[in-house]
């Protein structure tokens, strides 16, 4: 394995620190700069960093940092199957669910690429049988709705991906089933979703890698009781996505089971069976395959050493500069696409759960800031909400814009000489420039300081391939940042303590403050 | 008017700064402390700050600060109708939409409380006619769905409030109509919503105070074209909420119009006709009246000088300590209630648009941090997402938990000896304690530092009255913080520059970088 050292041990990082406070996105944001600061990404996407505070000297040092920290080499180790999740002693193989980047990865005599593609094939066959009516509900009805039961990584990614393609699929006559999602242990979540579906036309997918997730098991029983109350047979309307060693595996209580393994982290599981079952059912296996192809293309572009040809790596390194040199604690994700309404929530998990850590791979505390807080809402909605603070607040928050030339539904309306889609894109362009350049005004209340850095990822239209590439871009960005910070981005020990204390409360073993809080809720 | 001075001019603020870094929520978080640090709030809610880093000395200084900054006096000025939105020269009267706190507020010869209650009556009458079938769609069908078209303040609050009560209303047989919301100028937003409703059973509410909001007018025409294509008469299926001076007022194109005025800011308009029309139609006027009553009760509790009896004020002041003394840049809102799924997004607007500012009431730059970044998702979902960073990240993020003993639908299931609702509350209790106390572990990767402060607002069940009180709590908290920071919390000049530049793009008047970005999108 390569040597894994802290960010602040690198010469290039010390050089980077000397560049604190450079300003490029203000006076020098010219048309030429917009054209130059452009990196082709996968599936026709382009990453543009013109409105970031980046100059050639900074780029040079970021390249040195990428090389010194061996970021590409570490990615190679990862996709070649080394045990890079050292705490849990696991490989990290979500890239392998969408293509082969390096060597065959063999585990316990099995080629894991083969395993993942077998599962995809199994899901495709199952979905086609459901769509063709070969598999029917327990009363013989055709399934029209799929409801995924899962939480965290088994919910946010698949939900965000479904919403991202729903209108596109409707327009392209490939919306085979509508999808809904139950996640929260709050029983009102399941009650709300169930109130909106027809029981005898609904197929459920239970998703839990371990098969022991408290929320998911509770919601499974909630749903089963509801089906039984309606005289339906849950075993004919419920499928499972789990690991082969879980209690849910090979279980006659499910109509079908699809498998993942320990090398697919929850927050990186959208391209595995965790996302594949719901997306294949909702949109058809071909759409899911296109989504995977886009992700694989982005993975390939992440293998390139030259940061000017590797958008995920460049994005990651600019983020390191913003976090560790400029000291910005927050990043906003601002997709100008209603289809991406829950994409920021998914990235919030992917990013904050991966890199919200304070010890390095050797378990030593690090002396620098790691993962930032990440949030976002789609534009133009956000413009009428929190953009006030982004423009005129006392903190600088780096921004990541996403936009597309064409909308998905192709429905549109011309008002005041422009379509809504054109208005959407015009707003996006206007915001980038407003944040970068600001505007002097004699009334200080109307003064915009500018110098608020942003990047832009754009493409022609959000289609399955584009979505896959977009998702993989961010997954790889997070991975590179984790490498740079010398973290294990693939465990989540920070979720354990809450689980332990919850068990104590439910087992009646609590005292002190914990008991006092439990008393409040009559537990 | 009272004198308005910067936070850093107060003696009490200088005293406050000497308390940087106090720790109380760790070793000293005892059962007694949980019981003591409890402030009754409106509508049966309780604000508990036991897990905040607050000790008696800090509380004493916060009281001094409240007094020295005349926070209660400033609230009195506001509700008595002084022009506290000085930039726009407007009164700020959202409190008056839900009750009379002080003097009659007369404007141009009109008692504004009377005006707001007249509008409520008008909405109630209209809603009852819709529910009883006296008002039918253009093909004579009963309206079953209401779709609100609005953005920002005309969307986030009403949407969050509707979602907060939907399951409760379903359970209590008072879900008269389902509600949907169109906001984004992205035409896929409207296309998606319209694909899920029956045209001849859907009533639309167009909401724009000025009657000139770009997104809302575009979506209005989108919807009208869709209705007309289906042979329906938009004027028989569309209502408006606007100001009396807007182009939408007294317009025969609408079945009915309900009015607000310039003294109701968008982000504070949930209790005005902006929220009232949709909520009265969805749940019936009685539910909306209960919601207002809860808000009014919370407003009354915000009038109290003693911070230990004024939960909104105390919450605000603890936030000032965290932001300006501890230096925390972010706050998370964590409701353990799926019904509050969009409540954090609404508060994100309310807070960040109100206090994301860097000049004081006199237009002078302030030398201290103002409004923080605010984000959140419901628990337990967030536990499986970004809580990793909250527990073990390198930044401390103050937390605001919300919880209820009972769920809304009353549907539940017992798994492993406990109901889902009990599991939900147990998780909430466990998290508060985990964040505060942490846990030492020899494996540094499994070590929890603790000392991560949180507060808790809790109640028996989320019902209309509780929701009103909860909303008003946060509105008043934000208001008090704005007073303390000496900001105008009621304008939003930071949204203007983007509008100006968007017009330039759409008008073809752009050059330089703006043109280069527009070229990317083929504008």
**How high is the pLDDT of residue A391?**
98
Cβ(A490)–Cβ(A90) under 8 Å? yes
Across chain B, mean pLDDT equals 97
Q: What is A108-289's CATH topology? A: Rossmann fold (3.40.50)
Best residue in B39, B331, B388 for a mutation probing chain A (most A CBs within 10 Å) = B388
**How high is the pLDDT of residue A348?**
98
Residues from chain A contacting residue B51 (CB–CB below 8 Å): 513
* Contact check, Cβ <8 Å, A501/B430: yes
Dihedral angle at the C-alpha atoms of B200, B202, B206, B207, nearest 10 degrees?
Answer: 180
Would an 8 Å CB–CB cutoff place B129 in contact with chain A? Answer: no
Would an 8 Å CB–CB cutoff place A420 in contact with chain B? Answer: yes
Residue-wise pLDDT for A90-130, tens only, equals 999 999 999 999 999 999 999 999 999 999 999 999 999 99
Would an 8 Å CB–CB cutoff place B151 in contact with chain A? Answer: yes
Average pLDDT over residues A359-386: 97
- Out of A195, A385, A439, closest to residue B497 by CB: A439
Percent of chain A scoring above 90 in pLDDT = 98
How far apart are the C-alpha atoms of A288 and A306, rounded to whole Å?
30
Among the listed residues B492, B151, B351, B517, the one whose alpha carbon sits nearest the alpha carbon of residue A401:
B517
**How high is the pLDDT of residue A28?**
83
With 0-12 / 13-18 / 19 or more C-beta atoms within 10 angstroms meaning exposed / middle / buried, residue B18 is: exposed
Compute CA distances B206 → B158, B175, B237, B290, whole Å. 13, 21, 11, 24
* Contact check, Cβ <8 Å, A185/B394: no
Phi, psi of B450, rounded to the nearest 5 degrees: 70, -165
The residue from B20, B499, B503, B509 that is catalytic is B499
Residues from chain A contacting residue B501 (CB–CB below 8 Å): 429-431, 433-434
pLDDT band at A218 (very low <50, low <70, confident <90, very high): very high
Three-state SS annotation for A84-145:
CECCCCECCCHHHHCCCCCCCCEECCEEHHHHHHHHHHHHHHHHHHHHHCCCCCCCCCCCCE
CB atoms within 10 A of CB B134: 10
* Contact check, Cβ <8 Å, A353/B187: no
- Out of B388, B408, B447, closest to residue A352 by CB: B388
- Out of B218, B433, B439, closest to residue A420 by CB: B218
Query: Judged by CB atoms within 8 Å, which residues 359-378 of A form the interface with B?
Result: 359, 363-366, 368-375, 377-378
DSSP letters spanning B80-130: TT---BTTTTB---GGGGS---SS--EETTEEHHHHHHHHHHHHHHHHHHH
Residue-wise pLDDT for B200-211, tens only, equals 999 999 999 999
**How high is the pLDDT of residue B23?**
79
Tell whether the model's pLDDT for residue A496 goes beyond 70: yes
Q: Which helix (H) or strand (E) holds B473?
A: helix B464-485
Across chain A, mean pLDDT equals 97
Measured between CA atoms, how close is B333 to chain A, in angstroms?
13
Q: Which helix (H) or strand (E) holds A294?
A: helix A285-301
How far apart are the C-alpha atoms of B479 and B477, rounded to whole Å?
5
DSSP letters spanning A350-417: HHHHHH--SB-TTSPBPSS--S-EEE---TTGGGGTTHHHHHHSSS---EEEEEESS-SS----EETT
pLDDT band at A61 (very low <50, low <70, confident <90, very high): very high
Average pLDDT over residues B369-397: 97
* Contact check, Cβ <8 Å, A339/B188: yes
Active site residue A499: yes
Average pLDDT over residues A446-473: 97
Determine the 3-state secondary structure of A1 from DSSP: coil
**How high is the pLDDT of residue B26?**
60
Active site residue B503: no
CB atoms within 10 A of CB B52: 26
Cβ(B49)–Cβ(B455) under 8 Å? yes
**How high is the pLDDT of residue A23?**
78
pLDDT band at B101 (very low <50, low <70, confident <90, very high): very high
Residue-wise pLDDT for A379-437, tens only, equals 999 999 999 999 999 999 999 999 999 999 999 999 999 999 999 999 999 999 999 99
Residue-wise pLDDT for B211-241, tens only, equals 999 999 999 999 999 999 999 999 999 999 9
Would an 8 Å CB–CB cutoff place B442 in contact with chain A? Answer: no
CB atoms within 10 A of CB B194: 20
**How high is the pLDDT of residue A27?**
61
Residues from chain B contacting residue A51 (CB–CB below 8 Å): 513
**How high is the pLDDT of residue A520?**
97
Phi, psi of B238, rounded to the nearest 5 degrees: -135, 135
**How high is the pLDDT of residue A1?**
83
Active site residue B499: yes
Determine the 3-state secondary structure of B248 from DSSP: coil
pLDDT band at B22 (very low <50, low <70, confident <90, very high): confident
Would an 8 Å CB–CB cutoff place B274 in contact with chain A? Answer: no
| Range list of H helices, B92-247 | 112-132, 156-171, 187-194, 214-229
Cβ(A63)–Cβ(A313) under 8 Å? no
The residue from B384, B440, B446, B503 that is catalytic is B384
The domain B98-286 having CATH identifier 3.30.2270.10: the answer here is no
Residue-wise pLDDT for B478-493, tens only, equals 999 999 999 999 999 9
Residues from chain A contacting residue B217 (CB–CB below 8 Å): 415
Domain map (residue ranges) of chain B: 98-286, 492-523
Would an 8 Å CB–CB cutoff place B86 in contact with chain A? Answer: no
Residues from chain A contacting residue B152 (CB–CB below 8 Å): 381, 383-385
What is the DSSP secondary structure assignment for residue B42, as one 8-state letter? G
**How high is the pLDDT of residue B49?**
97
Would an 8 Å CB–CB cutoff place B192 in contact with chain A? Answer: yes
Question: Which residues lie across from A38 on neighbouring strands?
Answer: A48
- Out of A29, A214, A516, closest to residue B423 by CB: A214
Average pLDDT over residues A489-515: 96
The residue from A103, A129, A134, A384 that is catalytic is A384
Tell whether the model's pLDDT for residue B25 goes beyond 70: no
What is the DSSP secondary structure assignment for residue A272, as one 8-state letter? S
Residue-wise pLDDT for B266-309, tens only, equals 999 999 999 999 999 999 999 999 999 999 999 999 999 999 99
* Contact check, Cβ <8 Å, B496/A446: yes
């Amino acid at each position: 394995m390569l040597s894994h050292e802290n960010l602040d041990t690198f010469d290039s990082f010390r050089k980077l620190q000397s560049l604190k406070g450079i300003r490029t996105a203000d006076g020098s944001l010219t048309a030429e700069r917009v054209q130059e600061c452009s990196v082709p990404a996968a599936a026709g996407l382009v990453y543009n960093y013109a409105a970031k505070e980046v100059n050639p000297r900074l780029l040079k040092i970021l390249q040195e940092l990428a090389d010194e920290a061996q970021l590409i080499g570490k990615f190679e180790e990862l996709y070649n199957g080394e045990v890079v999740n050292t705490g849990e002693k696991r490989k990290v193989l979500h890239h392998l669910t969408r293509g082969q980047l390096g060597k065959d990865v063999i585990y316990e005599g099995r080629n894991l690429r083969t395993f993942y593609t077998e599962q995809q094939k199994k899901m495709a066959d199952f979905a086609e049988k459901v769509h063709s009516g070969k598999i029917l509900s327990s009363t013989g009805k055709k399934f029209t709705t799929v409801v995924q039961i899962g939480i965290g990584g088994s919910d946010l990614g698949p939900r965000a991906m479904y919403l991202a393609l729903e209108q596109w699929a409707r327009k392209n006559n490939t919306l085979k089933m509508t999808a809904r999602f139950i996640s929260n242990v709050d029983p009102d979540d399941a009650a709300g979703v169930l109130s909106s579906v027809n029981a005898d036309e609904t197929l459920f997918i239970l998703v839990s890698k371990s098969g022991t997730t408290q929320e998911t098991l509770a919601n499974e029983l909630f749903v089963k009781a509801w089906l039984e109350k309606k005289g339906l047979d849950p075993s004919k309307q419920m499928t499972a996505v789990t690991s082969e060693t879980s209690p849910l595996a090979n279980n006659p209580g499910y109509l079908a089971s699809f498998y993942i393994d320990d090398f697919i982290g929850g927050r990186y599981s959208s391209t595995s069976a965790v996302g594949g079952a719901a997306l294949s059912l909702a949109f058809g296996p071909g759409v899911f395959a296109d989504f995977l192809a886009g992700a694989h293309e982005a993975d390939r572009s992440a293998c390139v050493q030259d940061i000017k040809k590797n958008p995920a790596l460049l994005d990651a390194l600019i983020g390191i500069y913003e976090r560790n040199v400029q000291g910005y604690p927050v990043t906003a994700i601002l997709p100008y696409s209603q289809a991406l309404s829950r994409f920021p929530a998914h990235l919030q998990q992917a990013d904050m759960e991966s890199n919200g850590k304070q010890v390095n791979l050797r378990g030593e505390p690090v002396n620098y800031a790691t993962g930032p807080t990440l949030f976002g809402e789609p534009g133009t909605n956000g413009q009428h909400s929190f953009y006030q603070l982004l423009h005129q607040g006392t903190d600088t928050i780096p921004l990541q814009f996403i936009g597309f030339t064409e909308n998905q539904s192709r429905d549109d309306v011309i008002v005041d000489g422009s379509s809504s889609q054109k208005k959407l894109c015009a707003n996006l362009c206007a915001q980038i420039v407003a944040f970068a350049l600001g505007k002097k005004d004699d009334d200080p209340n109307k003064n915009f300081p500018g110098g608020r850095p942003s990047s832009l990822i754009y493409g022609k239209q959000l289609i399955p391939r584009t979505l896959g590439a977009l998702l993989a871009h961010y997954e790889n960005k997070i991975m590179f940042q984790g490498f740079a910070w010398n973290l294990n981005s693939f465990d989540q020990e920070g979720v354990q303590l809450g689980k332990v204390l919850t068990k104590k409360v439910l087992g009646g073993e609590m005292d002190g403050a914990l008991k006092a809080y439990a008393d409040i809720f009559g537990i």
